[in-house]
Every structure is written in structure tokens, then in C-alpha cells.
Chain A
Amino acid sequence: MNTPLRFSYTNAVAFSDIPVVAGEELAAIVRGLLDDDWRLLALFGVPDNDEEDAAGLCCVLAHDVSGALTALRTNALRTYLALTPTCPQAHLFEREVFEQWGIVPEGHPWCKRVRRIPDAAEAAIHSKVKDKAVQETQRILRPFRFYRVGGEEVHEVAVGPVHAGVIEPGHFRFQCYGENVLHLEIALGYQHRGVEQMLVSGPAHRCLPLLECTAGDTSVGHATTHCVLLERLAGVTIPPRAQLVRRIGLELERLANHTGDLGAIGGDTGFLPTSSWNGRIRGDFLNLTAAVCGNRFGRGLVVPGGVAYDLSPNECHDMAARLRAAGRDVCGSVDVMLHAPSVLERCHGVGALDAACARNLGMVGVAARACGLELDARATAPLSALPCQPPRCEHTGDVLARVLVRNHELRDSLQMVEDDLANLAVLPENDLRAAGSTPAVGSLPPGKLAVAQVEGWRGEICHVAITDADGHFLVYKVVDPSFHNWPGLAVALRGNQISDFPLCNKSFNLSYCGHDL
């Protein structure tokens, strides 16, 4: 391997500068980096220029302490030595690459499709492929069985993809011994719509709206990540006013969702007061977002180069008053729940994950912080020089820890938004967008790779883009925090009671469409 390429997370690098490694070496190199506290951000296939349907791998890692990034790539290949046996956090990424490009990770323990489970008809079409090598690949592409525990006393419970509540589709397959869950396998992909594919050859007008609804509850998060990525590729810096408004949007999204989640956790424990109150208060925060940009979910707020809407000093004062009122309500409502011994008892020790396991799985966000991992992109990869709180961590990794992390973050966010509104009110009028051309449409500098990490309410959202020789997207990789955290949920449930699954699931509250893309 050549000298490793280290670059700051704010910079774009030339794709050709990224060192090329052999497929057999990749696993060992990545393992070495993980041992030095690097973390896998993304692993994806990059189409080869010369050969059709062939792809190489590209792997981006972050060093959270120093804010440095590194990247590795391979030439086009058909098989390589799997990373998963030594780096479990590559597990889903390798399956995804396998599904998209047919690149086989040799020695992967569970190389099954991630999103699309082909039905019998589809499998039959595949079997008609004449090419021997491809046929060999397709053999593995057949519908893959669920992991199954043998024995007379073990029973299997299948839940979904149609659920009793108004939630997204996903299939859960439990292997149970009485009430105890031995194993849970989560099969998603029912909402796969090809987001990444639609982004290729952008930037185009449709990119931003598409990303705003990649995960509907994280509109501002994904929109901000996309815009930051475009700005980093184009080398644009956005004005301070835009930075403040963006942060207000992100934190309001966090407030609304943490409020909703805490209420929903209350509902699942059967504690109705907080459940009902938080349902109402969540609406207050959504309405505050609507007061900024006209949409309760913050669509249209963030645009490449800055933001589309401004707040006058009067509007800032107005919003701050409404924010304080909603903040008082939600703090009271959550305190009622956190002072109910029956709720604490219900949440304590359920669905616990230890820090080592969370780190191995590459978990991010609330779920990772509840295990004691100090991962918060607001602190490790800040978007601006604005002051922010250090990551809020708990150490037990159970449902209660996830509740407490949300509770602390809720209060931090209230303070941050209030401070930001005060700062915005006294900030002299200036532009909302970066001077010069907006990089929303058209071409970007060619042959570059850039990475954007933004702490959405659920966790770190990561987008990686590589531009081709014409300055269009060759690859656009979207990694929603849910993608990292779904395996965490499956592991957290082992050895727990099957009746604890709904509560445990709610405490993670992961996105289905953010995973399915």
C-alpha cells in the first residue's frame, strides 16, 4: 500500500490521489485502521471507466478524535477477501456491494441481499443467464433462507412486513425459546426505490427534493448533508447567517423527533400521560419549523450555498417565546415519566448493548451514545465554528440509557436553538447564500471525492460523492444512521424477552426508508 491519504473532513480530494490496494489486502488494512480508532463511514462500489458492469471498491474511514478522513480504493474486481470476519461493521456494506455489483466477498458469513429479496419468478429469470461466471454469482443471489435455530422446543415468530401500527414495512423473524429470543433477523428493503441510482449524473434540480424525502423524518438532516457535500466539492463557504438558520433547522428537527420518541416510548410502556402530551408538543416544534420555512418537516429550508429563508429580529423573538413555552411543556411531560418508578423499572436493563459490541457494529447516534461511545458529528465534524455541547453519553446501553440520552439532548437542543435565535436577531443583515454560482445544478470540479457528515437527530448522516471527468456524480453514496444501527437492534434483543421487542425497537426508532433508499 502507498502512504495512507489523510485529509480534513472539510476538503474534497482528487479521486486519483486515493491509494489503490489489492482486494486481498483491503481487509487487513481496514482492520489495522479500526485498531487505531478509525471508523468505517462507507464502503461502496465505484463503476469502472473502461469495463462495463465492472466496479472497484472504495472505502472511507473517519478518525473521530482528529477529524481526519482517509480513503482506500481497489481496481475493478469480481471477488475479494471479505472484511466482515474481522470488521463486523463492514457486514451490511459488503452485502450491499454484493447485491449491487455482484462482487463476491470471499469468506463473508452471511452474504445475503440487503434490500431486494427476489421472488421465484425473478430467480428463474436469473437462472437463464448463460455466462458461467455470472451464473455462479446468481446462484448465491437466490432467495436466501432466514437463519433458523433447530430443535423441537424452539419456535419461530414472523412479524411484518405489514404491522399493526401506522409504521413502515419491515419483516422481523424471531427464533424463540419460550419467551426468550435466541436470534432476531431483520429483513428490510420493502421501500427500496433506487435513490442512489437517481442521484447519479447529478447535480440536478431533483437531487435536493429526493434527499429531503430519503427519510421523511430527517428532511433537514439529509438536505443539509447534501448541501454541505456540494459546497465541499465546489469549495464554497456559506455565510454565518445561513449557518445559524441551518443549525436552528437541524435542532428543531431533533427536538420534534426526540419529543415524539420519548412520548412513543411512554406509550409502549403503557404510560399514557407522557404519550399523549408529547404527541401534542411534537406538533409545536414542527410548527416552529413551519414558521421558519413554511413546511412542518423543514422541506425547502436548506439550499446549496446557504438557506432559502431568513428570520427578522422580531420573528426571532417571537420564535424564542414559542420555543420556551413548548420547551417548558416537554420538560415537564418528560419529567413526569422519568419520575415514575414503574417506567424506569420497565426500561432498565432491557435491550442492553455493551460499548465494545456497539463499536464493532459501527453504531452511531443516540444508540451509540447510550452505550458510552462519544460519537456526535456536531462535536467531531462540526459544520461551523459555533459552540456546541459535548456528546451526551450514558453507559448502560439499555432502553433507559437511550431515553436518558434523548432527554439530555432535548434540553441541550432547546438551549442551542434559543442561543442561535438570540444570535441571529443581533447578527447584521447579510447574504443568506454564498456569493457566486450555486452548485445545485450543472457541473462540479471533476474527479473529486468529498464526504459530508451531519449529526441528524437519529445519528450521523454520511453522504459521499465522487465526480466523473465531466463534473457529474459518478457515485453518490447515502448512509443513513439507520443503516449502521439496524444490526445493533437485532443484537440487542438476543437473550431478551420477545415481549420487550416493541419497546426496544421504539427506543432505537430506526428508519426503514432511510435504510432501504
Chain B
Amino acid sequence: MSQSLVVYFVQLCLALLLAPLLPGIINRVKAIFAGRHGKPLLQTYYDLAKLLRKGEALSQTTTWVFTLAPAIALVATLCALALLPLGGSSSPLAFTGDFVLAAYLLALGRFATMLSALDTGSSFEGMGASREATFAALAEPVLFLTLMVLTSLSLNAGLDTEHALSLSALFGGQSADTWLGGKIELLLVPVVFFILLLVENCRIPVDDPNTHLELTMIHEVMVLDHSGPNLAIIVYGTALKLWFFAALIAGLMTPDLSPWPQAALRTGIVLLLSVLVGVTESVMARLRMQRVPALLGGAAAMSALALILSQMR
């Protein structure tokens, strides 16, 4: 087995093992800002262990859709994660245009969650699903616009089309090489991805993962009826999705180094990003729901700017 494949598998295992640590770090940072001691760093692991041992309560109005959805969402996220060049080493699954598959695997997971929310028949969960659909529809063009910046870069670098248009090439280290080489406008791309991370993972300023107020929730309200092992799957899937987006940003921030240092750097950046999410959540309030489209519009404008500038020079 080549060294890069070893790095890839080590990083995949690391992602699967460490993902539940990210919410723990975020909560600890928030606690420090608020002058509290906070939950243990490993709280998500404890929660998972507890939930897996519990039974499940099912509402009589729900059908198989409700029980199946968490598994679909988790598997979709897992597959998307496996397509990433984890640790900077190309994924063995990489193929031309795999970023489209990754984007729609995440969409499939979301679709399953929304169906399960609607399956409960609760007005709260219906509202949550409607909000999730709206914001996801607005986030999707931003994601693809930003991927366009990266593909144009990848094609300019002289790679043949077959290799240039995969996640492994787009997030392989050339982006950082380019902005380190003077195309500073490309730093807008990780900023856009950070906004997407906040939107897709339901963090402040878009959603408040800590609130108990059903009427204001987006993601949390969709999973209110889940319990036991299925809830554990959802909690784990959420953590994995956070790792996915953080790994994307890490891919944009690390230059082309030798495999092991790059893998270490990328993992460090993923953990640092969760600190950054914690800081963001501590220093600002949540946006009014009508303002979220404006945030995504701003992100789209930044992507467009990066695209235009990088093409002009």
C-alpha cells in the first residue's frame, strides 16, 4: 500500500473517532467566554454511549421513514467524507466530478431528515423542515459557485480535465499554493466555506444549537421526536458533517507538503476551526431568520469576487 493511502485511511479513522470531540471543543470555548466551567470535552462521547444503551420511543403517527432517516443521513455523510482527500492524500474513490456527488450526498441526508420530520406530523417539525429546505436551497448555489472558483484554478494549473475535476484535486493543496503565490483574493474562498459551515451545521448566527425554544429552531426541532440509538446516530452524523466542512477548509488552507506533516497540519486546522466556531458563537447573537439569505448572498458575492479576480490576473 502506498504511503498516501496509509495516510488517507489513518485520517479517515481519525475523523470517525475525533468528530464527536468538535462539539465538545465548541462548548468549552463558549463556556470560557461566558465565565463558566462548562461540560466535559468528551461530553458528546458520553451522550453517544448513553443513547446507544437506551430504548427508543416512537410516536404512533410515524412510519418506517422516521426510523430509517437517521441511518440514511449518517451513511450519506460518511460517503461524502470518504470522497475527501483526507490528510491531503487523494481519496481512492476519487473520480471526475465527484464533488457533485458529495454535495448531493449531503442533500440526500438532509432530505431524509426532513422527511422524518414531516413524518411525525408535528407542526414544529414541519416548520423546521420548511426552514431547513429554504436555507439549504439558498446555500447550494453558493457551494457550487465556490467550487467553480476552485475548478477554474485547478484547470489553470494545467492538470488534465480527468484529474482536475475531483475533490482530491480541488482540496489537495494547490489552493493554498496559489494564494501563497500572490493570488490573495483566494483567501475569500475559505471565508465562504466557513459561512457555509455555520449554515450547514446549524450554528450561530444561523441556528442556535443550545436553544430550548421550539419556535426558533431549525435543525434541532426536526429531530425532537428521535430518541435512543437513532438519536445517537443523528448526533454522531451531525459531528461528522461538521468535520466534513472543517476538513474542506483545512484542504484550502494547507499547502502541498509531504504526507505526514500535511495530515498533522490539517487535523490541527480542523480542531482550530471548532475553536473559531466557539468564538463566533460567543461574540455574536443569532441572526433574525429573514436575515440568513442576506448572509448567504454576501457569501455568494465573495465567491463571485474571488472568481472574477482570479480569472483577471
Contact = CB atoms under 8 A, between A and B. Distances in A.
B287 interface: yes
Q: Chain A interface residue count: which class? A: 20 to 34
Interface in A61-81: none
B33 A499 contact: no
Nearest to A341: B284
A272 B33 contact: yes
Contacts of A346: 285-288
Contacts, number: 89
B285 A273 contact: no
Contacts of B205: 270, 342
A157 B122 CA distance: 9
Interface in B181-223: 204-205, 208, 210-216
B290 interface: yes
A interface SS class: helix
Contacts of B211: 268, 270
Contacts of A497: 288-290
Contacts of B210: 270, 272
Contacts of B204: 270
A272 B281 contact: yes
Contacts of B33: 272-273
Interface in B261-299: 281-291
Interface stretch (A31-39, A102-110, A158-166, A366-374): A158-166
Contacts of A155: 123, 126
B34 interface: yes
Contact of B284 (A164, A275, A340, A503): A340
B213 A268 contact: yes
Nearest to B218: A499
A345 interface: yes
Nearest to B212: A164
A345 B36 contact: no
Contacts of B36: 276
B35 interface: yes
B213 A502 contact: yes
Nearest to A172: B215
Interface string A85-112: 0000000000000000000000000000
Given A155-B123, A158-B123, A340 B283 contact: yes
Interface string A487-516: 000000000011111110000000000000
A498 B124 CA distance: 11
**Residue among B126, B215, B291 having the largest count of chain A Cβ atoms under 10 Å:** B215
Contacts of A266: 285
A503 B285 CA distance: 12
A343 B123 contact: no
B285 A498 contact: no
Interface in B130-147: 130-131
Contacts of B123: 155-158
A25 interface: no
A157 B213 contact: no
A277 interface: yes
B127 A157 contact: yes
Interface in A253-289: 266, 268-273, 275-277, 280
B30 interface: yes
A168 interface: no
Given A343-B285, A350-B288, A497-B289, A164 B30 contact: no
A147 B216 CA distance: 23
B291 A345 contact: yes
Given A157-B127, A159-B215, A165-B212, A272 B288 contact: no
A179 interface: yes
A158 B281 CA distance: 30
B287 A342 contact: yes
A272 B282 contact: yes
Contact of B127 (A164, A276, A498): A498
A345 B294 CA distance: 13
Nearest to B34: A276
Interface in B44-58: none
A342 B289 contact: no
A32 B210 CA distance: 51
B288 A164 contact: no
A280 B290 CA distance: 33
Contacts of A342: 205, 284-287
B203 to A, nearest CB: 10
Given A158-B123, A340-B285, A500-B288, A272 B215 contact: no
Given A270-B211, A271-B284, 18 more contacts: A157-B124, A159-B214, A164-B212, A270-B204, A270-B208, A271-B286, A272-B33, A273-B33, A273-B34, A275-B34, A342-B285, A345-B285, A498-B215, A499-B215, A499-B288, A500-B216, A501-B216, A502-B215
29 contacts: A155-B123, A155-B126, A157-B123, A157-B127, A157-B215, A165-B213, A179-B131, A268-B213, A270-B285, A271-B285, A271-B286, A272-B210, A273-B33, A277-B35, A342-B205, A342-B285, A342-B286, A345-B285, A345-B287, A346-B288, A497-B288, A497-B290, A498-B127, A499-B216, A499-B289, A500-B288, A501-B215, A502-B215, A503-B216
